[in-house]
Chain A
Amino acid sequence: MAQMTMTQSLNSALNLCLEKDPGVVVLGEDVGFFGGVFRVTDGLQAKYGEHRVLDTPISEGGIIAAAIGMALNGLRPVVEIQFADYIYPGYDQIVSELARIRYRSGGAFNAPVTIRAPCGGGIRGGQTHSQSPEAIFAHICGIKVVMPSNPYDAKGLLIAAIEDDDPVLFLEPKRLYNGPFDGDPGKPSVAWNGHPKGEVPEGHYTVPIGSAEIVRTGAQVTIISYGTMVHVVEAAARSLNVDAEIIDVRSMVPLDVETLCASVDKTGRCLIAHEATRFGGFGAELMATIQERCFWNLEAPIERVCGWDTPYPHAFEWDYFPGKDRVVVALKTMLGLP
């Protein structure tokens, strides 16, 4: 075990995969010599060479298309999109090509491409460096979508993604790269050092895609979340002294319906929290699923705390961010607390 930040644990995952499988290649804008704008690929080009860790032209469509072609020719490309906000020039390649190759070829072809993309807000990035686009990819059949909330899961999930024979969109909440974040921007930043999930094995392991994690068991209410919001809802539940069962979804597609519903069946209450906009957000899918499965055990309407239905505004970052206060209000409403 070692203490790692999320940046380091992702780097460790890439390092192990590059070492183990000569077919793994890493490509993206500034990922090579520079080591990536968030330093996730730091040192990898020096170690594995310029033919396996490639700087690319600034062309997200080109990068993803090239990765698909490489995958069709037997490689296992890991793409970095510098910010999830800049993935859209590659959207057609993902939706119409990457996600459907297996299906449209009757299973004859597949393209095991992993696309890493930093997402989420909290770094003063404004509307073009803060988006959480998981829902618009979760809606696409044929691509898996995951988002870790800590260094341990990040490494295990990334290795699982790279080794997966299906394409995976791997979203990295950038606010968590260097430490957990409970949603209060006024507090000094906290490091991963000392956090139990900052303890990361140095070797190979996987966190299976498609499995949610019960972060904390509880009886009063189930709080379902992922990414940065996992830490925010934990802080909110703690501040209210609510006996909440907190679940980190980790994998949006495929979704671990059993874990989520077993918990809601037990607690009878469910709060869903994500940073992305509310309307048509992934929370709506979670809500529908739980409503279908747990209706007869529900004691209150399912609630959602999400980003407002606006672009992510630079000056209003903390009014936009669904912080602890908003989670607290929702919990109080659900539980009938004063």
Chain B
Amino acid sequence: MTRQSRLHIPVSSARPGERPDFSYLQVSPAGAVARPSIDAEAGSIQDLAHTLIRVLDETHHAVGPWDPALSADVLRSGLRYMLLTRLFDNRMLKSQRQGKISFYVQSTGEEAVAVAGTMALNTGDMLFPSYRQQGAFLVRGSSMVDLMCQLLSNTRDMCKGRQLPVCYFSVAGNIAAISANLATQFPQAVGWAMAAAIKSSDDVAVSWTGEGSTAEADFHQAVLFASVYRAPVILNVVNNQWAISTFQGFAGGECLSFAARGPGYGLASLRVDGNDFLAVHAATTWAAARARAGVGATLIELVTYRAGAHSTSDDPARYRPVDEHRSWPLGDPIERLKQHLMVLGEWSEDRHAKLTEELEADINAAWKEAVSYGTQSEGPRLNTDLMFDDVYKDLPPNLLLQRDQLRKMRS
């Protein structure tokens, strides 16, 4: 091996200590991208996989054909959910640092993805989120106490103490149980949608996966099945630029967008400013209408930035400039929607401060209640018998025996 390697190695645009550089990101001006009819042939709208659908312009006005023309009430509700998601994340991060919960994942900087995406759907539509779409649970009405009890693995934990924090679900809210194994639920969402079509229902399935996770075979299985059967499904790729320490180039984002994977499979594909609440809402609405009309599935790339650490086990200062998020060209989703509402005369700094205070109080009250059901170190604990339930519907002999053994040891 005396000769030089000719392998191409993707290199991220900035490492610690270097100047952030997002020049690789092509940003279309707000309003510049056409909005086709929902029954457009996938082959005729391939350009939408390469441009960037944006609605909010630099002056915070909503412009162009993708403006979903939402009422001020809906916009305020979106702002509320995004802010709630962020404040909830901040508080849970603190709880993790205090040792109350073992692990946490923030969605800071990408709240619009889950919040706008979920708000644009019908409540009967089934969601298959990854671990970074907590906003979907808040929009779908999960109580914060319930979410916190899952994080605490306490006596009210919906997962009965079995899952890593953030692997929530919501039966009432039609949200599947989150798996920590990457991308596994992307093709499952397609199957759910196929079943909806088989049953002739109007429900749509929606999944989200990180751009890094698109490398898994599951991603390709999902887009293929979605395309072959024209399943009523929306497949979201959340391109937040980083997959732990590897930048999106390692998932193949160096030359073409992630949305560009779709046309090759015959899928309608949209590339969207993921920090633009209105654009995410509009794109999801378009894809849901297309799915419900029986035209087929849509792949949506949501371009955003993971402003926080990957998880509480991660230290991004080791692999990217600490202040990189400040240079992110698409800004902050909460700030942008807030400015938009203010430009409309429907919001003010004052109201924002009040809302923040109110939400923080709600979160603190919920936390107080949640810890009263136990933490990992204090208070009531789950009965260890529960460990053996739900492996199967009924306990087989080996588990009955093992449950007895543990009972004897504990008594």
Question: What is the interface of chain A, defined by CB distance below 8 A to chain B?
Answer: 22-23, 29-30, 33-34, 37, 50-51, 54-62, 85-86, 88-89, 124-129, 278-279, 308-311, 313-316, 319-320, 325-326, 329
Do A58 and B384 contact each other (CB < 8 Å), given the known contacts A34-B245, A128-B164? Answer: no
Extra A-B contacts (16), CB below 8 Å, given A126-B164, A313-B162, A316-B382: A22-B1, A29-B246, A30-B244, A33-B15, A33-B245, A37-B244, A37-B313, A55-B246, A58-B246, A60-B216, A126-B163, A127-B163, A308-B399, A309-B402, A313-B387, A314-B102
CB pair B181–A128 under 8 Å, yes or no, is yes
Task: Using CB atoms, name the residue of chain A closest to B157.
Answer: A315
CB neighbours (8 Å) of B387 from chain A are: 308, 310, 313, 316, 319-320
Task: Using CB atoms, name the residue of chain A closest to B6.
Answer: A51
CB neighbours (8 Å) of B313 from chain A are: 37
Q: Tell me which of A58, A128, A313 contacts B251 (CB under 8 A).
A: A58
Q: Tell me which of B376, B391, B402, B410 contacts A311 (CB under 8 A).
A: B391
CB neighbours (8 Å) of A22 from chain B are: 1
CB neighbours (8 Å) of A89 from chain B are: 216-218
CB pair B215–A59 under 8 Å, yes or no, is yes
CB neighbours (8 Å) of B212 from chain A are: 57-58
CB pair B102–A34 under 8 Å, yes or no, is no
In the bound complex, CA of A315 to CA of B167 (Å): 13
A to B CB contacts below 8 Å, 5 in the list:
A33-B12, A33-B246, A62-B215, A315-B382, A316-B386
8 cross-chain pairs, A with B, having the tightest CB-CB distances, nearest first:
A315-B161, A57-B215, A34-B245, A315-B153, A126-B164, A51-B5, A59-B215, A128-B180
Interface assignment of B398: CB less than 8 Å from any CB of chain A: yes
CB neighbours (8 Å) of B328 from chain A are: none
CB pair A57–B251 under 8 Å, yes or no, is yes
CB pair A308–B162 under 8 Å, yes or no, is no
Least CB distance from A61 to B in Å reads 5
- Which of A37, A85, A319 has the most B CB atoms < 10 Å from its CB? A319
Interface assignment of B319: CB less than 8 Å from any CB of chain A: yes
Do A34 and B103 contact each other (CB < 8 Å), given the known contacts A313-B162, A316-B382? Answer: no
CB neighbours (8 Å) of A129 from chain B are: 164, 180
Task: Using CB atoms, name the residue of chain B closest to A311.
Answer: B162
The B161-182 residues at the A interface (CB cut-off 8 A) are 161-165, 167, 179-182
In the bound complex, CA of A9 to CA of B182 (Å): 30
CB pair A57–B1 under 8 Å, yes or no, is no
CB neighbours (8 Å) of B180 from chain A are: 126, 128-129
CB pair B215–A319 under 8 Å, yes or no, is no
Interface assignment of B213: CB less than 8 Å from any CB of chain A: yes
Task: Using CB atoms, name the residue of chain B closest to A60.
Answer: B216
Do A29 and B244 contact each other (CB < 8 Å), given the known contacts A127-B164, A315-B162? Answer: yes
Interface assignment of B198: CB less than 8 Å from any CB of chain A: no
CB pair B102–A124 under 8 Å, yes or no, is yes
CB pair B164–A314 under 8 Å, yes or no, is yes
Q: Tell me which of B103, B160, B215 contacts A124 (CB under 8 A).
A: B103
CB neighbours (8 Å) of B409 from chain A are: 325-326, 329
Least CB distance from B130 to A in Å reads 12
CB pair B251–A316 under 8 Å, yes or no, is no
CB pair A310–B388 under 8 Å, yes or no, is yes
CB neighbours (8 Å) of A128 from chain B are: 164, 179-181
CB pair B217–A59 under 8 Å, yes or no, is yes
Residue-wise interface mask of B (258-302) relative to A, using a CB-CB cutoff of 8 A (1 in contact, 0 not): 000000000000000000000000000000000000000000000
In the bound complex, CA of A36 to CA of B102 (Å): 21
Interface assignment of B243: CB less than 8 Å from any CB of chain A: yes
Task: Using CB atoms, name the residue of chain A closest to B15.
Answer: A33
Do A55 and B161 contact each other (CB < 8 Å), given the known contacts A33-B15, A61-B217, A315-B382? Answer: no
Least CB distance from B204 to A in Å reads 27
Interface assignment of B64: CB less than 8 Å from any CB of chain A: no
CB pair A127–B162 under 8 Å, yes or no, is yes
Interface assignment of B255: CB less than 8 Å from any CB of chain A: no
In the bound complex, CA of A58 to CA of B237 (Å): 14
CB pair B376–A315 under 8 Å, yes or no, is yes
In the bound complex, CA of A190 to CA of B250 (Å): 38
Task: Using CB atoms, name the residue of chain A closest to B9.
Answer: A50
Q: Tell me which of A58, A88, A316, A326 contacts B243 (CB under 8 A).
A: A58
Task: Using CB atoms, name the residue of chain B closest to A125.
Answer: B164
CB neighbours (8 Å) of B245 from chain A are: 30, 33-34, 55
CB neighbours (8 Å) of A37 from chain B are: 244, 313
In the bound complex, CA of A33 to CA of B179 (Å): 27
Interface assignment of B7: CB less than 8 Å from any CB of chain A: yes
CB neighbours (8 Å) of B388 from chain A are: 308, 310
Interface assignment of B318: CB less than 8 Å from any CB of chain A: yes
CB neighbours (8 Å) of B250 from chain A are: 55-57
Q: Tell me which of B162, B181, B213, B252 contacts A314 (CB under 8 A).
A: B162
